[in-house]
Structure 1
């Protein structure tokens, strides 16, 4: 492993803080957007929801939070890749490339999926559009659920899997937390559900990784015993003061 520079500590801290910000914004956005009717709700629930403008505002707020969550994730991903490039200048080319592509896929499909789920509420509340037919709203919800739960979650799982491997190889993740991170990644890759609780697995993984990035930043910032100055004066060097004759 190459020696780390002082900038690695600040970069790891940026990666950790942006990851925690992403987790908070993502969970808040999910809570707001989930106020919209789900696929299992009857047509009467759809009609009542879009006839009453109260909860539509919360869905619209959730839509506005999603881009900020995505931006925070991009900061998290970019800073973490910078840390990995410093710790392992020659990482696995396959894992490093898949890490970048999977992160971009996750953010892109997250934006598209949440936009589809909240499109009707957004149009009714801000555009003063007439209340949509429940069938149209349900179709948009189905498209959004498919983009998020089928595709975006798989991208998140691949990102979590490759990043865990890279962080483990770089010595940032100890063995037991790495096993937990791998289990969360496998769940994201294999889970077949449209329950929003399943999506919370990814921010949980991000929080886990961010905690150890902060730990790594503190460890790098702390001076090593070998770097401390020796308090014992050097008595072997010649003195500039001449002895009195």
Structure 2
């Protein structure tokens, strides 16, 4: 016995939400990577005080850091679109998902965006103030302290929120039959790295946009399949109704009958 087909309206809603989730996910990944590269032009914790003093005294790359800060909110907005659209897809495919995973998914996404904003603001605060506020260059110790706060917020807290979001989203999409087995395993490995990795290397943060792109590809694939018209059911060759039997009890028109 075949399962009943999903209503046309549900397929249309799923396709539309999947398309928005896929596109917004790719936009987030691009903006996030560009913003990270620009903000990373500021001195890091490993740099000596002379690097801090030279960077903030001579101008140099301060404009790039400030532009990177401006891009971070747009990346966060794109991620919120992505998260909301993914949850809309799940609502159409699994009206009663796991309550724990569904709730953790929302909280983890909100935590990631909040701490990402705070952490990048701390890292780029000095460069932003000097370039746009024309404030005097801060001493290296103040700049290093703000960088330490920003790194802690991003690499310890925001990345863990991203890992929990990746873990719960992968589970929910796998249960909804959007992710095949092999991509789901890869997505779980990326999520585990975000949850467990202990590093302050900015390259580690790129794991999260890589996970988002992976998910976006299969969401767009799902949108394509959901938007495709359903094939007409095969009812087989037409059958003709049997001819009605002749009525031999009625009067006959033959001339030899009385």
1:143 maps to what in 2?
149
1:233–1:125 distance in 2 versus 1, CA, 3 Å = farther
**Structure 1 residue corresponding to 2:103, chosen from 97, 108, 119:** 97
Q: What TM-score, normalized by structure 2, do the two folds share?
A: 0.87
Offset, 1:54 = 2.3
Q: Partners in 2 of 1:163 and 1:9 — Cα distance?
A: 18
Instruction: Give the match for residue 68 of structure 2.
Output: 62
Q: Classify 1:70/1:235 alpha carbon distance in 2 versus 1 (closer, same or farther; 3 Å).
A: farther
Higher alpha-carbon Rg = 2
Tell me whether 110-119 or 45-54 shows the greater mean CA deviation: 45-54
Structure 1 position 201 matched with structure 2 position 207: yes
Of 117, 123, 137, which residue of structure 1 is paired with 2:123? 117
What is the CA-CA distance between 1:52 and the residue it aligns to? Answer: 1.4
| Runs of 4 or more above 4 Å deviation | 232-236
Does 2:76 align with 1:76? no
Supply the RMSD in Å over aligned alpha carbons. 1.7
Name the counterpart of 1:163: 169
Aligned mates of 1:6, 1:213 — CA distance in 2: 14
Does the CA contact (< 8 Å) of 2:11 and 2:227 recur in 1? no
SS of corresponding position for 1:89: coil
**2:45 alignment partner, SS class:** coil
Contact 2:17 2:86 in 1 (8 A): yes
The CA distance in 2 between the partners of 1:219 and 1:15, in whole Å, is 15
1 CA distance for matches of 2:114 and 2:161? 10
Q: Secondary structure at the match of 1:226?
A: coil
Deviation string 1:18-68 (CA, Å, 9 cap, x unpaired) is 000000000000000000000000000000000111200000000000000
Q: Which runs of no fewer than 5 residues in structure 2 stay unpaired?
A: 242-258
The alignment's TM-score, normalised by the length of structure 1, stands at 0.92
- Partners of 1:227 and 1:66 lie apart in 2 by 50
Tell me: CA distance 1:175–1:51, structure 2 relative to 1, closer, same or farther (3 Å).
same
Query: What is the number of residues matched between the two proteins?
Result: 234
